[in-house]
């Protein structure tokens, strides 16, 4: 009985174990195959769904991608590169700009240009009027940026900013008011007039802007105002506070009106000439430290006279009075080209074109200006080619000259080479070239666009409640239409 049962088990029982083993082995090989296949690209899915669309808006996607590309291309660049050959259109431009067709009295009319026919707003690009020379040139960014926009739709080359004809397609709205020329030429009252032409133009500008649909949509937050001269738009800047200003510095603005978060600092156009084919190394520059300019200044510039008395008797230091009149520019050119270090000291305002004169002279800038803001500093490390000194340290007896003499030949040479690499970022050209000052300013504006969008979108939260009565939930500046001024 027992033997029969054992035999029966020996014949019948192995079958379930066999099938169980077979199934387990099959599952093992199938899972192993799938595991190996998962490490290769999913070709089937790739072909079936070539371009899955993200859920967010395509215009936002393009802008974010362009901003990323702007940072990437700049960080790998050592200066202006050759022209790109791709056609510039609104699909591949980093920044889409709508420009008001303001009457000529606001822009090229200030340069004595007169249209040949009624209704013509802009000059023919083949007959562009010249910008005033001398020191006027240092604040000429309005001229270069306006020309770049006018030329943007008819050229190939660096595609950073392009003019669009529908403001609803634009990232920013450009206001072509030549405010620096207006101040330089028309700020004085000419009898029998009681008000200067400069002030009249500012008032007319505000009246025009606040009546436009583009302004009402954003409260002016996406508008770009050029005010590079520190005294430009002086009479209306408190009314235009929501706009993005392009400035030389923040020296004469309250922080609630202009600040580094919403505005752009642009370089001066240098006055002295470039040092072309510069091979004048450390030993070929006999002057250690150079400064020539107005010594007695007000406000933050009082430090100049303190430094003058500290440095005037130092060997191989040139510290003297000077101006741009007569042969002043020629003297400054010669002096900077033959100096190792050039002082850039705060004057009536924190900045001056002297810094950019030093850069194109390949004379290492020594910056003594606590409140200075520098162009493109979010992507450009000035410590690679400038020396920064706190004002409180600079006026200590012996501190500055000891610091400068302590910089080795090797360190100076490294900074000198870097100056020659970056100088193109501060060159204004028409037509603009890759990564020149015009293109760099546009890139800086583009980097502000996401913050502008955030502000505008937040303002639209409660638009359905807009009425005669102000909602308690709305921000103080929601109802801004050019009549209220923020409290300081």
Residue-wise pLDDT tens digits, 392-421: 999 999 999 999 999 999 999 999 999 999
Mean pLDDT of the region 446-458: 95
d(CA 82, CA 273): 22
Asked whether residue 474 is domain-assigned, the answer is no
Instruction: Tell me: do 286 and 265 sit in the same domain.
Output: no
Contact (CB, 8 A) for 385 and 364: yes
Instruction: Tell me: do 301 and 230 sit in the same domain.
Output: no
Determine the 3-state secondary structure of 408 from DSSP: coil
Residue 295: per-residue pLDDT: 81
User: Closest by alpha carbon to 443, among 161, 97, 215?
Assistant: 161
Instruction: Tell me: do 366 and 448 sit in the same domain.
Output: no
Instruction: Tell me: do 172 and 299 sit in the same domain.
Output: no
Hey, how many other C-beta atoms are within 10 angstroms of the C-beta on 186?
A: 16
Residue 326: per-residue pLDDT: 63
Residue 467: per-residue pLDDT: 54
Determine the 3-state secondary structure of 373 from DSSP: coil
pLDDT at 369 exceeding the cut of 90: yes
Instruction: Tell me: do 305 and 261 sit in the same domain.
Output: no
Residue 90 banded pLDDT, cuts 50, 70, 90 = confident
Asked whether residue 277 is domain-assigned, the answer is no
pLDDT at 95 exceeding the cut of 60: yes
Asked whether residue 410 is domain-assigned, the answer is yes
Domain count, the chain: 2
d(CA 163, CA 173): 10
Asked whether residue 29 is domain-assigned, the answer is no
Residue-wise pLDDT tens digits, 6-17: 443 344 445 655
Greater pLDDT, 207 or 158: 207
Instruction: Tell me: do 326 and 454 sit in the same domain.
Output: no
Asked whether residue 35 is domain-assigned, the answer is no
Instruction: Tell me: do 288 and 197 sit in the same domain.
Output: no
Instruction: Tell me: do 258 and 303 sit in the same domain.
Output: no
Residue 301: per-residue pLDDT: 62
Instruction: Tell me: do 108 and 154 sit in the same domain.
Output: yes
Residue-wise pLDDT tens digits, 372-384: 999 999 999 999 9
- Mean pLDDT is highest, among 26-30, 256-260, 465-469, for 256-260
pLDDT at 23 exceeding the cut of 60: yes
Going through 70-203 in order, the beta strands assigned E by DSSP cover: 95-99, 161-163, 172-175
Residue-wise pLDDT tens digits, 226-272: 999 999 999 999 999 999 999 999 999 999 999 999 999 999 999 99
| CATH number of 377's domain | 3.40.50.2000
d(CA 94, CA 65): 9
pLDDT above 90 covers what percent of the chain? 65
Asked whether residue 1 is domain-assigned, the answer is no
Residue 156: per-residue pLDDT: 72
Task: Please give the residue range of the domain that contains residue 86.
Answer: 58-269+435-465
Residue-wise pLDDT tens digits, 55-85: 333 333 343 443 344 444 444 444 444 335 4
Residue 413: per-residue pLDDT: 98
pLDDT at 317 exceeding the cut of 80: yes
Residue-wise pLDDT tens digits, 148-203: 999 998 877 768 999 999 999 999 999 999 999 999 999 999 999 999 999 999 99
Q: 115-124, 168-177, 260-269, 292-301: which has the minimum mean pLDDT?
A: 292-301
Instruction: Tell me: do 100 and 234 sit in the same domain.
Output: yes
Instruction: Tell me: do 67 and 170 sit in the same domain.
Output: yes
Asked whether residue 212 is domain-assigned, the answer is yes
């Amino acid at each position: 009985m027992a033997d029969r049962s054992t035999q029966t088990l020996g014949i019948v029982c192995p079958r379930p174990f066999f099938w169980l083993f077979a199934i387990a082995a099959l599952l093992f090989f199938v899972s192993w195959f799938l595991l190996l296949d998962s490490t290769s690209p999913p070709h089937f899915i790739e072909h079936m769904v070539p371009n899955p669309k993200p859920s967010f808006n395509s215009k936002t996607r393009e802008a974010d991608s362009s901003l990323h590309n702007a940072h990437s291309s700049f960080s790998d660049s050592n200066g202006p590169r050759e022209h790109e050959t791709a056609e510039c259109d609104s699909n591949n431009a980093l920044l889409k700009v709508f420009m008001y067709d303001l009457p000529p009295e606001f822009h090229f009319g200030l340069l004595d240009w007169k249209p040949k026919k009624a209704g013509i707003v802009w000059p023919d690009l083949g007959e562009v009027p010249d910008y005033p020379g001398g020191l006027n040139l240092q604040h000429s960014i309005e001229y270069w940026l306006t020309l770049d926009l006018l030329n943007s739709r008819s050229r190939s080359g660096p595609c950073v900013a392009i003019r669009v004809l529908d403001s609803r397609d634009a990232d920013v709205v450009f206001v072509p008011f030549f405010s620096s020329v207006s101040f330089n030429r028309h700020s004085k009252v000419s009898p029998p007039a009681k008000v200067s032409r400069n002030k009249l133009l500012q008032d007319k500008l505000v009246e025009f802007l606040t009546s436009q649909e583009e302004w009402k949509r954003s409260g002016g937050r996406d508008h770009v105002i050029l005010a590079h001269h520190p005294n430009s738009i002086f009479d209306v800047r408190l009314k235009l506070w929501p706009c993005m200003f392009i400035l030389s510095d923040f020296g004469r603005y309250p922080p609630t009106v202009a600040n580094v978060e919403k505005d752009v600092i642009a370089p001066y156009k240098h006055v002295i000439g470039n040092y072309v084919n510069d091979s004048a190394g450390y030993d070929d520059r006999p002057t250690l430290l150079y400064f020539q300019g107005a010594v007695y200044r007000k406000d933050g510039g009082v430090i100049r006279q303190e430094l003058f008395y500290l440095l005037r008797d130092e060997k191989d230091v040139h510290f003297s009075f000077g101006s741009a009149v007569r042969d002043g520019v020629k003297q400054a050119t010669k002096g900077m080209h033959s100096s190792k270090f050039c002082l850039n000291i705060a004057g009536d305002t924190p900045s001056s074109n002297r810094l950019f004169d030093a850069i194109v002279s390949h004379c290492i800038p020594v910056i003594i200006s606590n409140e200075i803001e520098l162009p493109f500093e979010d992507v450009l490390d000035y410590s690679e080619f400038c020396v920064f000194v706190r004002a409180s340290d600079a006026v200590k007896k012996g501190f500055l000259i000891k610091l400068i003499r302590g910089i080795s030949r090797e360190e100076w040479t490294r900074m000198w080479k870097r100056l020659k690499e970056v100088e193109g970022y501060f060159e204004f050209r028409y037509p603009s070239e890759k990564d020149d000052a015009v293109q760099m300013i546009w890139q800086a504006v583009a980097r502000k666009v996401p913050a502008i969008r955030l502000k505008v979108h937040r303002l639209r939260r409660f638009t359905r409640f807009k009425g005669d009565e102000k909602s308690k939930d709305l921000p103080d500046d929601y109802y801004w239409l050019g009549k209220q001024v923020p409290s300081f």
